[in-house]
Structure 1
Amino acid sequence: MAHECDVVVVGGGIVGLSTAYAITRAAPGTRVTVLEKEPAPARHQTGRNSGVIHSGVYYRPGSLKARYAVRGAAEMVDFCAEHGIAHEVTGKLIVATDRAELPRLHALVQRGRENGIPVRELVPSQIAEYEPHVRGVAAIHVGTTGVADFTAVARTLARLAEEAGARVRYGCEVRSITRHAGRVVVGTGPAEIRARVLVNCAGLHCDRVARLAGTDPGMRIVPFRGEFYALAPARRHLVRGLVYPVPDPAFPFLGVHLTRGVDGTVHIGPNAVPALAREGYRWRDVDLRDLAGTAAFPGTWRIARRHWRYEVDEIHRSLSKRAFTAAVRRLLPDVTPDDLRPAPSGVRAQAVLADGTLVDDFLLTGSGPFVHVLNAPSPAATAALPIGREIASRALGSLTGAPRPSVASR
């Protein structure tokens, strides 16, 4: 079976579906096909995160993450309201539990204000007004943070794109990419897709798709699993909204935080441990091909040398519920190990350069008929609508021959 289209999008997560939706809106009549290897959308990063609509308070002013988070948060709230998707603007607390964290907390205040985000500084008595069971020496309240059902957002984007003429095909894993007669030919096993432009939004597998297309991506996806617990229903009253620690700039992840979702469930986590497969949601999920690729990549060992102390602590908390609880108790002293229930984990598709640098911002590259999204970190779900428009613009530029930058940011 063969199918002709103008743009083929590889990946049915929130970014790929937002891209397809944006193309149909910007250029009606453009033939768009989305290929997703799973039987439904949002089965990996989109559907396995804490569901937070991020404000942008952490991100370097001027970065794509900062610009798209601030813009995307407002757009995501409006999109959810328009389409009846569960969401809530709760605000969040970032809490310093030790006086040594105060300079970093004050730096976040400045960064938030530079990004145009409303930030309120709190003393301990004011923390209790928002979160009576949370303890800290100081905090900031960020008013534009919220929560949403991102799986429902992805399903809605898929429906809207299909209503506008796009085709979303599930169970179609990309196995080959070649060029023939001015077309990109994508082999999926059951079908062959011929397109003028290919957009790679494959998330955990984006570097592999780039190499199939004959592109050296200059990076490798190194997967990190984020493990969550949920508070027992009888203890959910301990957390009203969203509570985060002050991030440690020496470690690339935010640390364990508390998140009340749209369904009332309070998730605690995630940690960040090396995953033994790109879709390794448990320690026993091992893929020898993935593991060999990660081990052979020099950037993996450079990360390990740089951050091994932190990773030892993260692995300890993964293997010891008591150690995990001790980390949570810095923010929430009343919690006990018996209050925590295992919850589904997620895997972060972390782009890493050969020198061990973790790519921090969105990374878009490609030339000719290819647009590759090689890093779409948090806040990708929050920023899905504006980042989808950016990718769509590049894809449509390829169709018309318009000039475009080779790299958006790295």
Structure 2
Amino acid sequence: MYDYIVIGGGIVGLSTGYALTRRYPQAKILVMEKEDRLAFHQTGHNSGVIHSGIYYKPGSLKARFSKEGGDALRRFCDQHGIAYEMCGKVIVATEPEELPLLENLYARGLQHKLDLELIDAEQLHAIEPHAAGLRAIRVNAAGIVDYKKVAVAFADVIRQRGGDVLLNTEAQRIREGSEGIEVECNNGTYRTHYLINCAGLHCDRIAAMQGLATGMKIVPFRGEYYELKPEKHGLVKHLIYPVPNPNFPFLGVHFTRMIDGHVHAGPNAVLSLKREGYRKTDFDLRDFMEVMTYPAFWKIAKQNMGEGLKEIVRSFSKAVFVRSLQRLIPEIREDDLIPSANGVRAQALTKDGKLADDFLIVQNERSIHILNAPSPAATASIAIGESISERIPEPKHSMPYAVG
């Protein structure tokens, strides 16, 4: 009998388990992951950016947790010998009509009390010699790290403190009894007083297993990437981002220097026909039909039809993808890019046709469900885990278990 079971072995689930071991050192904790390795899905396909939080609405959980989580993440990496680099990034305006948006973004960064500066084209050239732009924001509070290593370190600490981390363990049914919860899995049944749902791409289904009406559904979006050939790595010194379209929920294609030296370009964002669909050809009938029969999807599709079509064209045309990148680095050519690993973002779409803009956490007496945790969730993971642990009741070691 566990005090707490966490479903999901990505960085949010593991950071939650880590936080619980700190808050309740005597508690019996289990983190279960359905794959044969940790951090396999969203965490394992993450761009590796330590986000500053500049984009997020002041007062939102994303803004708050980015700052708190980024600070905590760096401390954790220092303690556990995980390499990271605060290389900084530039957000570049390449067209005159983007300048007011850039200034608004700069004002938001000041509200967040971030270390940043507004720079001109000459100053941009000194930082990123191959980038082109009219003006830019230099954000010093941004960096890069390998989040898979962070996730594994969380798991190591959980085990060292007496917790269990099980792989190849998939939750298939949830039953509530008079004193707790039974989680039936492919390899056995596990019992707990309290359940934490950090299942990412499948979090809405886990909530449904418990009979929770969430008013949302996960819609998967595939992020498609290229990377620069090794001889072209010198074109990107730090992180180079465009000014985001405030009416579109994704940041646009950008350049990311990874902690291992690779340079990624992307992502393009298109609807995935499978929740774990990393290739264009991946298809799952259940996943596809859930999206197609969800009225809220058609509302959001209609609102973003123009930008969505651009994303689809970029998905099938490398030349068009490259033209988007050339707005930031004009000398990029098709031959400079090779396909890279794609990712899938678990985006919560509410029944009224709105993409959840912030982290979405729903709680009842015996469980808590993290139902929307896209970027910057990896950056914010320690802060998210701490926030979840603060909401959870103390262990009930003496309570007997009885299934109803």
TM-score, reference length from structure 2: 0.97
- Shift of residue 395, structure 1, vs aligned partner: 2.3
Equivalent pairs, count: 397
- Shift of residue 377, structure 1, vs aligned partner: 1.8
In the alignment, what sits opposite 2:350?
353
Match of 2:219 among 199, 219, 222: 222
Matches of 1:328 and 1:179 in 2, distance apart? 51
- Shift of residue 80, structure 1, vs aligned partner: 1.2
Please list, as runs of the form range in 1=range in 2, the aligned pairs for 1:131-280 lying within 5 A after superposition. 131-280=128-277
C-alpha contact (below 8 Å) 1:50/1:261 kept by paired residues: yes
Gaps of 5+ in 2: 398-404
- Shift of residue 181, structure 1, vs aligned partner: 3.3
In the alignment, what sits opposite 1:408?
none
Letter of the aligned partner of 1:204 in structure 2?
A: L
Q: Does 1:99 align with 2:128?
A: no
In the alignment, what sits opposite 1:342?
339
Q: Secondary structure at the match of 1:271?
A: strand
Match of 1:307 among 296, 304, 307: 304
In the alignment, what sits opposite 1:404?
none
Please list, as runs of the form range in 1=range in 2, the aligned pairs for 1:317-332 lying within 5 A after superposition. 317-332=314-329
In the alignment, what sits opposite 1:81?
78
Q: Does 1:384 align with 2:381?
A: yes
Letter of the aligned partner of 2:293 in structure 1?
A: A
Gaps of 5+ in 1: 401-410
Matches of 2:374 and 2:393 in 1, distance apart? 24
Match of 1:58 among 48, 55, 60: 55
Matches of 1:292 and 1:25 in 2, distance apart? 42
CA displacement, residues 183-217 of structure 1 (integer Å, 9 cap, x when unaligned): 10000021101100000000000000000011011
C-alpha contact (below 8 Å) 1:369/1:398 kept by paired residues: no
RMSD value, Cα? 1.0
In the alignment, what sits opposite 1:35?
32
- Shift of residue 399, structure 1, vs aligned partner: 5.6
Q: Does 1:45 align with 2:42?
A: yes
Matches of 1:355 and 1:217 in 2, distance apart? 12
Matches of 2:367 and 2:127 in 1, distance apart? 48
Q: Secondary structure at the match of 2:393?
A: helix
Q: Secondary structure at the match of 1:141?
A: strand
Matches of 1:120 and 1:251 in 2, distance apart? 25
In the alignment, what sits opposite 2:114?
117
Percent of pairs with identical residues: 48
Please list, as runs of the form range in 1=range in 2, the aligned pairs for 1:16-31 lying within 5 A after superposition. 16-31=13-28
- Shift of residue 397, structure 1, vs aligned partner: 5.3
- Shift of residue 74, structure 1, vs aligned partner: 1.5
Q: Secondary structure at the match of 1:272?
A: strand
CA displacement, residues 204-253 of structure 1 (integer Å, 9 cap, x when unaligned): 00000000011011100000000000000011100001000000011010
C-alpha contact (below 8 Å) 1:199/1:395 kept by paired residues: no
C-alpha contact (below 8 Å) 1:23/1:396 kept by paired residues: no
C-alpha contact (below 8 Å) 2:230/2:262 kept by paired residues: yes
Q: Secondary structure at the match of 1:391?
A: helix
